[in-house]
Structure formats: structure tokens, C-alpha cells
Amino acid sequence: MEYRKLGNTELELSAITHGAFAIGGNMWGGNEKEDSINSIHASLDHGVTSIDTAPFYGFGLSEEMIGEAIKGKDRSKIQLLTKFGLVWDGSNNGKGEFFFDAEDEGKILPVYKYASKANVIKEVEESLKRLGTDYIDLLQLHWPDSTTPVCETMEAMELLIQQGKIRAAGVSNYSVPQMQEGNRTLHLASNQVAYSMLNRSIETDLVPYSVEHNSGIIVYSPMERGLLTGKYFKEGQLRDNDHRNGYFSQFDLNKVKTFLEKIEPVAQEKGATLSQLVLKWTAIQPGITVVLAGARNAQQAIENAKAMAIEISQNELDFIHSELSKLG
């Protein structure tokens, strides 16, 4: 495994970081607790020292399972990354920016973006309890909240750093102008954004800005929620309540299928899976610090961890980029 310094902080994160969205269950067609905890143990056993989660993932369940999984382990060798700013329990009293309606066991829960100082502090205390720890390595604003001044949110995170409750502060889903505004109050350690072979928009402005200002980039959805594993084209069926049924419709699936068929032999020649090739490609792109990879069981976690061992030659990179250009 390769370990990388995050922005201007002292944090070193594993280049492949365990993304714990799916183990929360909501929006992913459910989950199995034992498999989820085993996936975390397998990640840790194979060099993945960093785990990224959020209170919203499973409405607290993801954080709770991580807390259970790391209990008794050397906390100093694990980096916990979590978030704040999505409120679903009504504690915001209607304040904030309405985001969408989520569903939990048949019940509709209105989700708000809410990043007031009081809410940041409240959410961190709840996350610490669920995670079973007394500090968070990287705290991230989950989504921008247009109703709260950016400086108020940044000041709250600065206070938490001073109190020792978080080691570093970052954001997620921020544009360059939003990064610029946030950095006026607090130098942001990182920005967590969507990035994949099929979604490279950040290369235009966010990557150059982050490199220039020494901010890390943590990328999510490198596999486009499983689409780039190729399994969808071989198995095809998703559960009715799986959000990916709608998500995949944004892509030209015939072109994606052809692209994957073209690059899969590159993976096969290395004795690697298509997923591992995609993860390694993502991890070596300019400006990318950490790649989040979800795993719902131990086998998937081990496969993800081993992706960094793959070597991709310049000729192979050129071939992959040539095929990518045909996607339009």
C-alpha cells in the first residue's frame, strides 16, 4: 500500500481508502452487518489504514459499525474520516437548505444541508460517540449549505481543531470559488469530490487549484457505483430499491460496455481484475491524493487493497486514454 500526505496536514492516508457509504445500507439495497464489519477488518489487515464515512450513511449505522469494527485496535494506526452537514432527524427545526427526501424502512425523511456552528459541534459529538473515539482525523462538510455563511462553518471546524476533537478540516463537493471562500478563514486540508474515468470534470479547474494551494483531493465514485467493475453488464439485475437503477441511466451504457471490453485485457495480462485496474488508474492521476473504494464484504476489501500493487506502463496509460477519448 502507498501512503500519502494530505494537503498541508500531518495526516498520512492510505492511497486506497475504505469508503463506507454502502455498508450503511440505505440507498444500496440493504446490507449484512457481519459482512460489513469483516470488510473493515480485511481492509485494515491489507494495509488500508483510512476509513471514510458520514452520519448520513445508514443514518448513523455506518459510523456505528466502524466503531464496533475498530474497537480494541490501535487507534493511532487508523485514520477516521467523517462528515457533517446533512440533517434528517428534524433537529434543524426547518433551518438549512432542503436537499431531498430519503427513505428509511418505508418512512420518508426530509434531508437538509445545514452547517451552522451549533450543528457542526452537535454532529461531531454524535459521531465521536458512534465511532467510539475521542478524536476524528479528518472532518469534512458533506455538502455546501447556502443558508449558512461559509466563515461560520469554517470557524466551527477551527474551534474543533483547537479543542483536539478533530485533527484536520476539509470539505466535500466544493467548487473552486467555494474553496477560495473557505480558505479565507481556514486553510482546507482537502476536498472530497466525484471523479472517475467517466467523470473527469475536476481536471479543468479543481485539480490545478488544489495542487497550487496544497490541498488534498479525495475522490469518491471512482467505480461509478460499480458500473466500471463490468459486473453490471454480466449480471445486470439490481434490487428495485437500489438507487443505481436511476444513476446508471446518465451514461451511454453501450459505449461504456465497449470501453470496458477494450481495457479488460490490460488487467488480465497483469492477473488483475478490471476493478483493480480502474482503481490504480484513478490513484495515479495528477493531483489525486486518495481514492475511496467501497466494499461490502472481505473479498471486495482485499481486492481493493491490492489494486495499488498493479503497475501501469506509459504505453498502457496511452492506450487507456485513447479508448477513453472515444466515450465522447
β-bridge mates for residue 139, sequence order: 82, 169
Is there a catalytic annotation at residue 57?
yes
Bridge-partner residues for 101, per DSSP?
110
What are the E-state strand segments in the chain? Answer: 3-5, 12-14, 16-19, 50-52, 79-84, 86-87, 97-104, 107-113, 136-141, 166-172, 190-194, 216-220, 290-294
* Strand partners for 218: 192, 290
Cα–Cα distance for residue pair 263/226, rounded to 1 Å: 16
Give residues with Cβ within 8 angstroms of 189, minimum separation 6: 6, 7, 8, 9, 11, 138, 168, 169, 170, 215, 216
β-pairing, 290-294 vs 3-5, is: unpaired
Give every CB contact of residue 22 below 8 A, 6+ residues apart in sequence: 28, 31, 294, 295, 296
**What is the C-alpha to C-alpha distance for residues 44 and 207, in angstroms, rounded to an integer?**
29
For residues 161 and 171, give the distance between their C-alpha atoms in angstroms, rounded to a whole number: 15
What are the DSSP calls for 177-199, one per residue?
HHHHHHHTTS---EEEEE-BTTB
Dist. CA 284–CA 280, nearest whole Å: 6
**Residue 121 CB-half CA count within 13 A:** 11
Exactly one of 57, 112, 209, 232 is catalytic; name it: 57
Helices (H) and strands (E) in the chain, counts: 12, 13
Q: How far apart are CA 8 and CA 36, in angstroms?
A: 32
Query: What are the residue numbers of the active site?
Result: 57
